[in-house]
Amino acid sequence: MRQKLQIPVVLLGLALTATPALAKQPVIDMHAHAGNAVQASPSHPDNIAVRTAYQAEADENNVVLFAASGAQAFVESWGEFFGD
């Protein structure tokens, strides 16, 4: 008697997300940390690099909207950087 092969749901989910028609759907990131790379002002080069890296990942993953949290100065700097 032959055994049936069962495809795990996880593999099915991976197959669906790898489907080109579904891969570039807009994404809403419900929580991004408007954090600081160093304990300095939001305009510190390392902190600007964090925002720039997030922007690159967001663009790559088609993130169209996100909510950020963190210290007020950093949240405001992210709002200015990303255009509110």
- On whether the CB atoms of residues 43 and 50 are closer than 8 A, the answer is no
Would 53 be classed as within a structural domain?
yes
CA distance 20 to 46: 35
Q: Structural domain of residue 35, as residue ranges?
A: 26-82
Would 34 be classed as within a structural domain?
yes
Write the pLDDT tens digit of every residue in 30-57: 788 887 677 788 888 888 888 899 899 8
70: left (phi over 0), alpha (psi -120 to 50) or beta: left
Residue 15 pLDDT > 50: no
- On whether the CB atoms of residues 32 and 63 are closer than 8 A, the answer is no
How many of the other CB atoms lie within 10 Å of CB of 48?
A: 14
Classified as helix, coil or strand, 55 is helix
Residue 13 pLDDT > 60: no
DSSP character for 58? Answer: H
Would 8 be classed as within a structural domain?
no
| Number of domains, the chain | 1
Query: What percent of the chain shows pLDDT beyond 70?
Result: 70
